[in-house]
């Protein structure tokens, strides 16, 4: 039992690194996914094809290769920045492996975020876009008041899946000397030569964290999409599903 207790302490020490690595990677992947979605949804065929090929390329590269490539390129990239900016001095003894691991994980999941966004946009009925144009909505009003709120509700399940998948994928960061949960477990397993016990403890910790986030996203999905549930009164459902806008003539229109 002493081995399990000590290993648990080691693994828990890596939880903050795992969570921060996951959070920053998800946020950056979402930002990159939004940028990719602009290209994928472009009306210009060459641009659309270029971004589609780029997304396909990023999907086809394993995460571990991204981590190794970024880890190998650290000295060259940071050395170039050192020469370019006089105010920055790169210390080769302290490479920013954490930042490069965030970029590697984000780059791996950016195309999946792009697919999530484009799928959510495609599920919005064409009539809603046309109704917004007919109601005199500006492009900003149409997106912020009608389209994006519905897309968020639609995208929450996929976003939750990507989040927990990236949480598990962050365990690969130990291969580039980042001491997150898996890295702590592997180090202690090497020192104690109790590999099975350490990996079992690490697996259980990942499972517990997974359950917490799974339930959190399930509650968020239920909360955000409560107006679509059968038990919600029709009056409340209508208030959520229809946007009432006051036209210049003073007539209220319901925009689907």
Interval 112-155: pLDDT, tens: 999 999 988 888 888 888 888 787 788 788 888 888 888 888 88
Q: What is the pLDDT of residue 49?
A: 93
Interval 152-201: pLDDT, tens: 888 888 999 999 999 999 999 988 888 889 989 998 888 888 888 889 99
**Is 256 part of any domain?**
no
Give the confidence band of 111 by pLDDT, cuts at 50, 70, 90. very high
Helix ranges (H only) for the chain are 2-13, 15-40, 45-60, 63-84, 97-122, 126-134, 139-141, 148-169, 181-192, 195-224, 234-241
pLDDT over 70 at 83, yes or no: no
pLDDT over 60 at 232, yes or no: no
pLDDT over 80 at 77, yes or no: no
Q: 15 and 209 in contact (C-beta within 8 Å)?
A: yes
**Is 197 part of any domain?**
yes
**Is 92 part of any domain?**
yes
**Is 219 part of any domain?**
yes
| Alpha-carbon dihedral 157, 158, 161, 166, rounded to 10 degrees | -140
Q: How far apart are CA 201 and CA 207, in angstroms?
A: 10
Q: How far apart are CA 106 and CA 26, in angstroms?
A: 6
CB neighbourhood size of 234 (10 A):
8
Residue 84 sits in a domain whose CATH number is 1.10.3720.10
Q: How far apart are CA 10 and CA 32, in angstroms?
A: 34
Q: What is the pLDDT of residue 6?
A: 86
pLDDT over 80 at 15, yes or no: yes
**Is 237 part of any domain?**
no
Domain that holds residue 171: 2-224
Q: What is the pLDDT of residue 194?
A: 84
CA 89 to chain centre: 32
Mean predicted lDDT score pLDDT of the chain: 82
CB neighbourhood size of 208 (10 A):
9
76, burial (CB in 10 Å: exposed 0-12, middle 13-18, buried 19+): exposed
Q: 25 and 105 in contact (C-beta within 8 Å)?
A: yes
Interval 44-69: pLDDT, tens: 889 999 999 999 999 999 999 999 98
pLDDT over 90 at 230, yes or no: no
Angle at 64 between CA 21 and CA 188, to 5 degrees: 65
**Is 43 part of any domain?**
yes
**Is 240 part of any domain?**
no
Q: Work out how many domains the chain is built from and give that number.
A: 1
**Is 179 part of any domain?**
yes
Q: What is the pLDDT of residue 235?
A: 46
CB neighbourhood size of 62 (10 A):
10
5-9, 33-37, 97-101, 217-221 — which one is most confidently predicted on average? 33-37
* Per-residue buried b or exposed e for 19-51, using 16+ beta carbons within 10 Å of the residue's own CB: bebbebbbebbbebbeebbebbeeeeeeeeeeb
Q: What is the pLDDT of residue 242?
A: 44
């Amino acid at each position: 039992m002493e081995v399990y207790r000590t290993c648990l302490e080691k693994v828990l020490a890596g939880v903050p690194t795992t969570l921060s690595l996951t959070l920053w990677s998800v946020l950056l992947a979402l930002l990159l996914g939004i940028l990719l979605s602009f290209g994928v949804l472009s009306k210009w065929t060459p641009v659309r094809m270029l971004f589609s090929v780029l997304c396909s390329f990023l999907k086809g590269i394993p995460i571990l290769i991204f981590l190794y490539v970024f880890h190998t390129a650290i000295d060259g990239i940071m050395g170039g920045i050192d020469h370019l900016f006089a105010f920055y001095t790169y210390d080769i003894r302290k490479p920013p492996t954490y930042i490069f691991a965030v970029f590697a994980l984000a780059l791996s999941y950016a195309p999946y975020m792009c697919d999530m966004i484009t799928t959510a946009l495609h599920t919005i009925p064409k009539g809603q876009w046309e109704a917004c144009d007919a109601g005199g909505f500006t492009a900003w009003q149409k997106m912020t008041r009608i389209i994006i709120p519905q897309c968020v509700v639609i995208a929450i399940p996929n976003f939750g899946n990507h989040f927990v998948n990236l949480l598990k994928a962050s365990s690969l960061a130990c291969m580039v000397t980042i001491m997150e949960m898996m890295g702590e477990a592997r180090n202690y397993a090497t020192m104690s030569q109790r590999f099975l016990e350490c990996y079992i403890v690490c697996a259980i910790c990942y499972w517990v964290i997974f359950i917490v986030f799974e339930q959190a996203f399930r509650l968020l999905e239920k909360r955000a999409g409560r107006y679509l549930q059968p038990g919600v009164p029709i009056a409340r459902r209508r208030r959520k599903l229809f946007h009432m806008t006051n036209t210049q003539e003073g007539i209220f229109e319901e925009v689907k």
